[in-house]
Structure 1
Amino acid sequence: MAAFGTQFTTEMVISRFGDGQWSNLEVVPVQPFSMHPATHVLHYASECFEGLKAYRTAAGGIHLFRPDRHVARMLNSAAQLLLPAPDEAALKRSLQMAVSAVADEIPAYPGALYLRPTLLGTEEDIGAAARPTSKALYYVLTSPVGDYFSGGLQPLRVKVDDQAQRSTPNFGAVKTGGNYAAAMRQVVQAKQEFGADQVLFAPGGVVQETGAANFVLIDGNELLTKPLDGSILPGVTRDSILQLARDAGLTICERDFSVEELLERAPGAEAALTGTAAVLTPVGELVYQGSTIKVGDGQMGPWSERLREQLCAIQSGAAEDPHGWRVPLET
């Protein structure tokens, strides 16, 4: 299968906003858009998106994983960006439509169908820097994906950066391309200088998240992670892992913690990144000010392995779904 996110299905869902209302959701062929050079999103980054998956079970059933949480997050992102957005019911319906339209293209587990709902400001006005767009485009693109770690799951090497910020304060909870663009230079530099896979941003010495995933530290029976204070993305996988850890008897501690505390606890702990694509990925090494600190024994720890396996089993349909996270495809 092609690299993650580079293969697409034949159809997508689309709706346009103008004159104060949204058009009906439509299933159309996947094809390029035509945009005027003055389109709002090209100049003022009026854009947000989501990323979630639909799975085909061994028995042949199809379900989406926690679409309600992704819809809620998209609505929050749109509100922060002052973007018009379809209502909750329409967004949920669009996801169902997008999956149903390409059901035959969904690969078997561990493959999945990755959904990318996207919202763009489309007003043609380069003078609209200080006001929101009056036109918008919403679409759901889908991509058949294989196992994110086709070569095997490997612990990551992560640079800890206590100077740079991933996002502006209180805007980290918005899933917008600008936040990823802001982090990209730091990530590329870390790869070039230290062979790092990612950067853990800790502006002012307070640990936040990486450029594309939330961060958790498991030490003994405690799972420690940054609270949802607006500076980090409210990850759906993060929330799922926290719930499974709570079910398993771990103490969940959502509080600010420093780089100093992280480095002190890391040698006897487990660390991991959580996200839709990678689920839960172990961190084997931290790099801080040029020095390397091994996390635990440098491999995936027992809690990380257990939680990852539990979540994957629920997503694939191989295990019970006690929290109602799987939403069946409507027929």
Structure 2
Amino acid sequence: MSKDVNIDWSKLTFDYIKTDYRYLSIWKDGQWDDGKLAEDNMLTISEASTALHYGQQCFEGLKAYRTKDGKIQLFRPNRNAARMNDSNAKLLMPEIPEEKFIDACMQVVRANEHFVPPYGTGATLYLRPFMIGVGNNIGVKPASEYIFSVFCMPVGPYFKGGLAPCNFIISDYDRAAPQGTGGQKVGGNYAASMQPHKIAAEKGFTDCIYLDPATHTKIEEVGAANFFGITKDNKFITPISPSILPSITKYSLIDIAKDYLNLEVLERDVLADNLSEFKEAGACGTAAVITPIGGISYKDELHVFHSETEVGPIVKELYRILCGIQFGDVEAPEGWIYKV
């Protein structure tokens, strides 16, 4: 294993970097093999794999964090395991035992420990578990074999210039169907989002916001992230819908809002016509943790929340506490942190 990693941690972005080892396990004849670490980052699969033709695949994203004392920890990987198994069930793929999922992540972090960025850089080691249907299949039916893999790469902090508000535009496009796969982390959802994102970016926005596909009146997701807002009477509000991906970051923020900031929390409909109820807003997910929302363009008007240039005090505090927990500077709720 090479220990010489010539990386300028301050210049890392969210881009692929080949690290030394990844984990691979094969499901065949009704069971998983023991799994192993591999150096080769290329997969060889059948041209008839269901992942290529019928979208039978899913993935996850989580991070390993270096703490002030040099130790490494994972943040709630059990929740990623549960969410991946929800995706697997939806697409008729085999379940991955929670302990196998977490062990795979641990093995990959340990084998690539020298790629975990130092504490204080804001950078982390991003892990990408995924499962694909493989084997020789041509009919529309579940695959006969599956590959479960976890690879990793160091990534920089999402906000190079510090936490800063971004503007978004409400899209006419749908990212998921009402009874479809919106609540699962499957590739088709992201393929459907590429064109609307391009249109939003061309108009000068960070990304687009999707409304509910049935009525086009309620906010669902912000790009590939979950939405939350802080009302003028200090309630933490986040949308609820079966076609929203259940963000582990969002549910962590819900607990932080309740238990650390003593805010009332409600999961309920968020009407696009009622943006004025919020004094602050944000999008949340693994990559950025929180993206503060400066304004939302809807019906040719830009609704500004706290400010287009300054982050609101509650969003700033939510970000500080969550990052503090992830990097080991703030005491975590029981069961959130897994020491590598």
TM-score range, shorter chain: over 0.9
1:297 and 1:156 map into 2 onto residues whose CA distance is: 10
Partner of 1:304: 315
> Is the 8 Å Cα contact of residues 8 and 144 (structure 1) preserved in structure 2?
no
- For residue 269 of structure 2, what is the amino acid of its counterpart? D
Q: Does 1:224 align with 2:237?
A: yes
In structure 2, the CA distance between the partners of 1:257 and 1:18, relative to structure 1 (3 Å rule), is same
- For residue 200 of structure 1, what is the amino acid of its counterpart? I
Q: Does 1:249 align with 2:262?
A: yes
> Is the 8 Å Cα contact of residues 98 and 140 (structure 1) preserved in structure 2?
yes
Ranges in structure 1 where 5+ consecutive residues have no aligned partner: none
Q: Does 1:125 align with 2:140?
A: no
Deviates more, 1:146-155 or 1:12-21: 146-155
Among 201, 225, 229, which residue is 2:210 paired with?
A: 201
- For residue 214 of structure 1, what is the amino acid of its counterpart? N
> Is the 8 Å Cα contact of residues 214 and 274 (structure 1) preserved in structure 2?
yes
Matches within 5 A, 1:95-106: 95-106=105-116
Shift of 1:85: 3.2
Partner of 2:4: none
Q: Does 1:165 align with 2:174?
A: yes
1:156 and 1:280 map into 2 onto residues whose CA distance is: 11
Q: Does 1:236 align with 2:248?
A: yes
2:299 and 2:197 map into 1 onto residues whose CA distance is: 15
Shift of 1:17: 1.2
Report the secondary structure of 1:209's partner residue. strand
Count residues in correspondence.
Answer: 321
Q: Does 1:215 align with 2:227?
A: yes
Partner of 1:187: 197
1:223 and 1:100 map into 2 onto residues whose CA distance is: 37
1:8 and 1:155 map into 2 onto residues whose CA distance is: 32
- For residue 89 of structure 1, what is the amino acid of its counterpart? E
Shift of 1:265: 2.3
TM-score normalised to the size of structure 1? Answer: 0.93
Q: Deviations over 1:224-267 (max 9, x none)?
A: 1112x3210110000111111011111111111211112x324x
Partner of 1:62: 72
Shift of 1:5: 3.1
> Is the 8 Å Cα contact of residues 118 and 139 (structure 1) preserved in structure 2?
yes
2:287 and 2:61 map into 1 onto residues whose CA distance is: 9
> Is the 8 Å Cα contact of residues 124 and 154 (structure 2) preserved in structure 1?
yes
Report the secondary structure of 1:305's partner residue. helix
Partner of 1:261: 274
Ranges in structure 2 where 5+ consecutive residues have no aligned partner: 1-10
Q: Does 1:3 align with 2:6?
A: no
1:153 and 1:46 map into 2 onto residues whose CA distance is: 36
1:322 and 1:253 map into 2 onto residues whose CA distance is: 20
1:2 and 1:243 map into 2 onto residues whose CA distance is: 30
> Is the 8 Å Cα contact of residues 4 and 145 (structure 1) preserved in structure 2?
yes
1:92 and 1:302 map into 2 onto residues whose CA distance is: 35
> Is the 8 Å Cα contact of residues 238 and 266 (structure 2) preserved in structure 1?
yes
Report the secondary structure of 1:208's partner residue. strand
1:190 and 1:319 map into 2 onto residues whose CA distance is: 37
Shift of 1:35: 2.2
Shift of 1:95: 1.1
1:141 and 1:65 map into 2 onto residues whose CA distance is: 17
- For residue 17 of structure 2, what is the amino acid of its counterpart? Q
> Is the 8 Å Cα contact of residues 12 and 154 (structure 2) preserved in structure 1?
no
- For residue 236 of structure 1, what is the amino acid of its counterpart? I
> Is the 8 Å Cα contact of residues 21 and 39 (structure 2) preserved in structure 1?
yes
Partner of 2:7: none
Deviates more, 1:317-326 or 1:67-76: 317-326
Among 306, 326, 330, which residue is 1:319 paired with?
A: 330
1:30 and 1:195 map into 2 onto residues whose CA distance is: 40
TM-score normalised to the size of structure 2? Answer: 0.91
